[in-house]
A and B are shown apart, each in its own frame.
Chain A
């Protein structure tokens, strides 16, 4: 387009069009941001209500506090020769202190809103029962301590599955109907079983029948001193869970990506490119992968988010000290701050990803960009 063309009164100038696009994009982003924040707010509040049994957990906690205080006072030799009345006053005082510390004297609705406000501002507070392995009561410390384990295990497995699946699917979609293709399709139903299920069998086979690999845990105890030995031990412990996850999802991923690529490669413009005699490499890169990029990125990002929640059962089966088993323990201890902390972080990450995806789409796809402003 020449500069003269932009002065043509019938067409808006390129500059103005860009500005309009930018305005639409900003409006769109703002709208999405507000919507997502509201979503997170509601989701987190629901979690807070469920995690507190709508306030019922408080009564359990009250009973527990009382019995604990009575027990400690009774067992303390310092109070042995205290008269009964004085002692019960002491108990009442201690209970009141503890109630005040946990703020159980306020109605649940008030506290739930307070929880919500603090959770949303990522002030995760202190755990009630649990503590990190280093002894910290801060929920933040507890979660960050478990995070690397989960990220390492699930990151490795999911990245492996994702890239293997996409490349294998590309390969298969080029020669669909081949023996290999049929085999993969025939194997796809095996993914009906989740990873922990395969995990049990892998443990049976490779840890007990042929004791080659450790059955669970993250490193040998005590942990090796040298870095290299530590990494080696970690790898050995990771092999089985990674294999379990890989087995349970690889075939169905290949299958769905393959179908996806096949659908994209039967588009008219691909046929056209073939008719023109373009090389298959070029067709694959420019005509199949290019328009398929958005869904690929989406599922990649959603997969990365999926890492955060970990998998409670897989971590339980393999005794892996990650977020999933942390959440399970927290629920078992009725330690609401930890539960809420885990869910809040998950919600924020998911919302962040969805937001990033929205913007990315708006940038990549002109249809969304133009429509987006008027949503």
Chain B
């Protein structure tokens, strides 16, 4: 690479502010791409992105917290109150115990939570314990939330309780339970200390009862959550290495193979060149995206298969014609003749004499090609042909699209992956355009 990136070129490049900005963006993205797999291993990322149980303490469709705080808002974050921190009063009676578990919390947010759930766990009981719930508001109001028989793992969806909503004057429970009864019209939050009192009867001397009250927030973390409660930051972080790897491998794969094949064709001429030319023309007729879509629908949407198809279709791309035009004069250059005279083999001439000559011209094309492939991956994902397992930016966009995120006002869901895509595109394109001016003297002199 020393031929390619001599110090002069670097200095030249440093003259373009856009190149510096581009490089900064690329460095930043590469940093994220390199650290993410270390912090969250590949297997774990896939496992977590599959969704399910592990996300049940996350809110649905919560916006990023910092956006709300920047706007001066004080929307609810997720509050979790667990019983192991509470002071449990136990009274024994023959054949069991009576437990009183107070779950206390201070509610200081301006907005209502998005949902309230109570998770109950009772391990090792011969007979299922029984729990009665009472909600105590700071103003002394008490609302009975009914009684439940507790299995080993139970979830009480307080927000889904229709009869409770009716008792609260038609308000959804997560609004009604926390609103100020003095205020007429639009409900307002009553801040202060709340308590959910669990009065339990357990029929066991030893085994206890675990309870966890979750008041789901309206905002969550730095990236918010999606419709399956998954934290979007996982997909945004993991999308970075995936996007960069896809773009880089596809760009390297297509440009290098194309270049080598063009050089081979130019060097050997005759039927080799003719075959290469005809194959290129066939390939130009094949529409790339429909073929990718076909492969995705008919075979598999694995990102690595897509990558392979992209590279294969890219080998005999129209670029061959351009490189051929560039290589033809090089073939006749005196130094090639000199190489022939000392007895260099065909392969050596192609590799050591012809390719290095046009590599510098190739670098800008190569850099500007990377975002094209990054966007191609996103495009496929938006069409619903994203990798079935990997979290990628395109898949976040696709989820958002299919859940009508824009229509429902979940703007962050679309904007975050879009900004990352745009950053990648801009970073590489800015660097590429500057490189183009550095490496193509014809443009530089203008």
Where the two chains meet, the residues of A that have a C-beta atom closer than 8 Å to any C-beta of B are 35-36, 38-40, 42-44, 46-47, 50-51, 53, 56-57, 176, 185-186, 188-194, 196-197, 200-201, 203-204, 207-208, 215, 255, 259, 262-263, 266, 309, 312-313, 316-317, 327-328, 331-332, 334, 339, 342-343, 346-347, 350-351, 354
Contact = CB atoms under 8 A, between A and B. Distances in A.
A42 B379 contact: no
Contacts of B418: 197, 200-201
B289 interface: yes
Interface of B: 18, 22, 278, 281-287, 289-291, 293-295, 297-299, 368, 371-372, 375, 378-379, 382-383, 397, 401, 406-407, 409, 411, 414, 418, 421-422, 425-426, 428-430, 432-433, 442-443, 445-446
Contacts of A334: 297-298
Nearest to A205: B406
Given A39-B278, A57-B298, A193-B425, A312 B289 contact: yes
Contacts of A266: 445-446
A47 B282 contact: no
Contacts of B442: 263
A51 B294 contact: yes
A45 B282 CA distance: 10
Given A36-B281, A197-B375, A339-B294, A190 B426 contact: yes
15 contacts: A36-B281, A39-B285, A46-B282, A50-B295, A189-B18, A190-B426, A192-B425, A192-B428, A193-B421, A194-B375, A200-B418, A312-B289, A312-B290, A331-B297, A346-B285
Contacts of B383: 312-313, 316, 328
Q: Interface SS of chain A: helix, strand, loop or mixed?
A: helix
A39 B287 contact: no
Contact of B285 (A43, A53, A186, A201): A43
Contacts of A316: 382-383
Contacts of B295: 50
A262 B429 CA distance: 21
A182 B379 CA distance: 31
Among B285, B368, B428, chain A packs the most CB atoms within 10 A around the CB of B285
A176 B297 CA distance: 48
A169 to B, nearest CB: 13
A188 B282 contact: no
Q: Interface SS of chain B: helix, strand, loop or mixed?
A: helix
Closest 7 CB pairs of A and B: A192-B425, A189-B429, A43-B285, A192-B429, A192-B371, A347-B285, A39-B281
Given A50-B294, A208-B407, 9 more contacts: A36-B281, A39-B285, A43-B285, A53-B299, A197-B422, A309-B290, A334-B298, A339-B290, A339-B294
Contact of A42 (B282, B368, B422, B445): B282
A185 B18 CA distance: 10
Nearest to A259: B443
Contacts of B289: 309, 312-313
A192 B368 CA distance: 8
Contacts of B290: 309, 312, 327, 331, 339, 342-343
B286 A192 contact: no
A312 B371 CA distance: 19
Contact of B421 (A38, A197, A328): A197
Nearest to B17: A186
A43 B278 contact: no
B281 A35 contact: yes
Contacts of B284: 350
Among A43, A189, A197, A203, chain B packs the most CB atoms within 10 A around the CB of A189
Contact of A43 (B22, B286, B382, B445): B286
Nearest to A263: B442
B372 A192 contact: yes
A216 to B, nearest CB: 11
A189 B433 contact: yes
B34 to A, nearest CB: 22
Given A192-B372, A197-B421, A262-B446, A313 B18 contact: no
Contacts of B411: 204
A41 B432 CA distance: 37
B138 to A, nearest CB: 38
A204 B414 contact: yes
Nearest to B436: A259
Contacts of A263: 442-443, 446
Contacts of B429: 188-192
Among A39, A53, A351, chain B packs the most CB atoms within 10 A around the CB of A39
Contacts of B285: 39-40, 43-44, 346-347, 350-351
